[in-house]
Amino acid sequence: MKLERNFQINPALVGVVPLINVMFLVVLFFALASRFLLQSGLSVSLPTSSFVVTPTRQPQLVSITSTPIPAIYHGDRRITIEELGPRLATITSKDRSLVIKADRTTPCDLLFQVANVGLEHGFSVIFATAPVPAAK
């Protein structure tokens, strides 16, 4: 007895199914990668504070290190205080927040210079702090 197949595979599905699998993996990758990307920039020793401000959507991040010669970083690029103003002027996002991550021993003069540049360009300035350690 000869059996015949009555189900036929549509040739269009052979190309579409792998494409759907790849698209699903790309979406999964971006969904998981965005959860693990918390803060870009440098690792600095933040001062502590018991007050917490909720983070904004897409703030501009300025990191200030306090090596023997303090350094300013916008994102991951080292800049000078003179370069910060023009870089902030080119940003056209609706949410204009500037988060300053400064080391504990950063000179106050430099900290306020960076804050003033941000305020001059219409940014709301937020100083990043670490939470106060819990008492044992």
Q: Please count the other Cβ atoms lying within 10 Å of the Cβ belonging to residue 109.
A: 8
Q: What is the pLDDT of residue 104?
A: 84
Q: How far is the C-alpha of 34 from the C-alpha of 27, rounded, in Å?
A: 11
Specify the pTM.
0.62
Residue pLDDT, tens place only, 53-78? 666 778 888 989 887 888 999 988 89
Q: What is the pLDDT of residue 72?
A: 92
- Contact status, residue 100 vs residue 111, Cβ threshold 8 Å: yes
- Contact status, residue 124 vs residue 96, Cβ threshold 8 Å: yes
Q: What is the pLDDT of residue 52?
A: 66
In this prediction, the residues of the chain whose per-residue pLDDT falls under 50 are 37
Q: How far is the C-alpha of 82 from the C-alpha of 84, rounded, in Å?
A: 6
Domains of the chain: 48-131 (3.30.420)
H or E element, residue 119 = helix 108-120
Question: Which is nearest to 39 in space by CA: 114, 115, 130?
Answer: 130
Q: How far is the C-alpha of 128 from the C-alpha of 134, rounded, in Å?
A: 19
Q: What is the pLDDT of residue 44?
A: 67
Which amino acid belongs to residue 40?
A: S
- Contact status, residue 99 vs residue 62, Cβ threshold 8 Å: yes
Q: What is the pLDDT of residue 136?
A: 60
